[in-house]
A and B are shown apart, each in its own frame.
Chain A
Amino acid sequence: MSAEQIASPTQIERPSGSAGSGASIAQRLLASPEGYLFAFIVLVWMFLAAKSTVFLTERNIGVLLSQVALIAVTGFGMTLLLIAREVDLSVGSMQAFVGVVAMQALNEWHYLVVGIVVAILLGVIVGTINAGLTLKLGITSFIVTLAMMQILRGAAYTSTNAAVQNEHKLSSFKRVFNGAAVEDPVRIPWPVVIMAIFFVIFSLVLAKTTFGRSLYALGSNPEAAALSGIHVWRLKTICFVVTSVMAGLSAFMLIARMNSGQNNAGFGFELQVIGAVLLGGASLAGGKGTILGTFLATLLLGSLNNGITLMGYNPNWQWAVTGIIILVAVFLDSIRRRYTQES
């Protein structure tokens, strides 16, 4: 079996039925992940708005979207990667590693830009290493990034004992997460703006450029893509690097939010991101997924978690909810695969 097949491990083959046909428009809309995710979000929002007067306030939505941004930004990168039939499990440890190092850099140099550049640079380095080990050594990205996850976590622990505190007290730093880019007519926090910008860029790239088209082809059928002159390695490397850079940016927003670089940050983050991307319509087998889908999935997850907090439920439920959502995502994916399989 090839490395690609390992990234999407053996599914027990089931007797396939003939593909369905002739569904109504409403059915078809709901059949697409974006469609039913949107429907679920509407339902959840209506429910939460009814149950809690705080939910639909400008402040709460702002908080909700900011938290969503932390995951979605990495998720956009991960979407590209999953389309390319690869995966990156190290993004969680990146939150800790980049967070710690970036905060240390900020403390050293007292310039916001330095922190951001460090985060991006670390992303480039880690992404390149991930790409190199996966492509050059031929080890599946699951294992490579699993190992990298350990390594980065270890590096984060080595770097500091518990957390790197904010010693620089930059005012611009505080604004990264809590400040607003726009105040009138509605308050839009910076993370939301950042997420929106990346949303537009990534969506356009995927849908309208040769890169995006090649990526979908590459993920669906790497052989065919290679034989059509597509530079498989080059594209995959870009995806790895972009994902790690996005993870770095997420990490930067995280330390702004927590006001410290914690070496135990990001535990389970990678699973939340991958779960969301899969829920949004991507598949481990590659070739599928959209930025909109990823965003909606993250929004749904975020809304549920937000609701849990608002309604006073035990916050520990968030783990279970994430797990259940992942299961639902994979379940839906398996159904989708079955219907698009050729008899």
Chain B
Amino acid sequence: MATVQHALPAEGTKRGWKRYAAIWARSEELSLLLILTIVIGFFLVVEPATRQRKIYWDLLWEQSPTLIAAVGITMLMLAAQFDLSIGSMLAFTGVATVTAMNRTDSMWLGIAVGLATGPLIGLINGFLVTYVGMQSLMTTLGMMFALRGLVYVYTNKTPVVDENQFTQFTRLWFGKVGPVRVPVILALVLIILAWYVLSQTEYGRNIYAIGGNQQAARVSGISVRGITFSLFIISSCCAAIAGLLVAAQTDTGYFDAGVQGFELTVIAAVVLGGVSMAGGQGNMVSVALAVVILGTIGKGMRLMGVNTTQQLLVVGIVMLAAVYYHRTRRRIAVRLRNEGY
């Protein structure tokens, strides 16, 4: 009977550094932790202004909309789908929320309406992709345009100001639970929830199956359509929550929220976090780390006085480097595996 060894080779018989290299090559989380450490280390050395602890709490706070949206996008991309409409969702949700608040004079109704935009748009996206059979990339691209356009037309490119001045609303953004801001808590809760679902539940594992081999998933009776549909709803809901938070920042529904490439930033982070565009590979923790890394780079550069608009340059370059890095890492993992590591 052929016994196949898949454990690591015995100590001392193979070169030690290759063992560690294999562990590193296999793990997305480790890679990103390493990168994060390097990035933070870099800034700590170079820019004294980064040495305050407050900076890092602020960083998480600023990044919370991105983190939340990234949760939805990660789950979607694991199933090999895309959602480019999240940027426009920020505006759509924000405007809908404040408009509803103005119309009904009720903050809670406004928030409810805002939250409702999530499932609404998610349903449309999901329906178009899973039932009509349209490709998610261009479909959500079109939705992005359409939503943005509708917001422009409705608001006539003027911000929707909260006429009732619900200061309570801004507490959604500025409020604290203990030392931690509310948005950060929201983000962490969602991230942990997503991580748990993806790694521990059947639903989550099926997402990987759909992304890894859709045919195999279908043939095994997994409801590919149903799960994919639900993922679009999840993604839009996450975007809606993010949109609420953004609106709460200024108590205003801003028509240009997210227009400067929000969806691209999120996708960049997800890809940097090791999620494959083809689906089936990646995990939530790495993505969260990636968002933090990108945020750190941005914040660090700002503190250094680097032109904010030049950050676009850096984001672009970082994305390319990220994809190339993960591709190389995986190739190394395969080669080491063939050598028995």
Contact = CB atoms under 8 A, between A and B. Distances in A.
Direct contact of A and B (CB under 8 A): yes
Interface in A157-204: 157-158
A147 B320 contact: yes
B225 interface: yes
A66 interface: no
A1 B278 contact: yes
B214 A330 contact: no
Main SS class of interface, A: helix
B147 interface: yes
Contacts of A6: 277-278
Contact of A334 (B134, B143, B312): B134
Interface stretch (B1-9, B27-35, B39-47, B150-158): B150-158
Q: Give the interface size class of chain B.
A: 35 or more
Contacts of A154: 309-314, 316
Q: Give the interface size class of chain A.
A: 35 or more
Contact of B137 (A157, A284, A329): A284
A271 B145 contact: yes
Nearest to A317: B153
Max chain B C-beta neighbours (<10 A), residue from A12, A143, A147, A333: A12
A314 B134 CA distance: 30
A13 B132 CA distance: 10
A118 B56 CA distance: 45
Interface in B266-325: 267, 271, 277-279, 307, 309-317, 319-320, 323-324
A318 interface: yes
A158 B145 contact: no
A320 B134 contact: no
Interface in B114-136: 128-130, 132-136
Given A150-B313, A316-B157, A324-B146, A330 B152 contact: no
A299 B306 CA distance: 43
A102 B309 CA distance: 21
A322 B147 CA distance: 11
B153 A323 contact: no
9 contacts: A10-B81, A10-B211, A137-B324, A147-B320, A150-B261, A157-B307, A324-B146, A326-B145, A331-B132
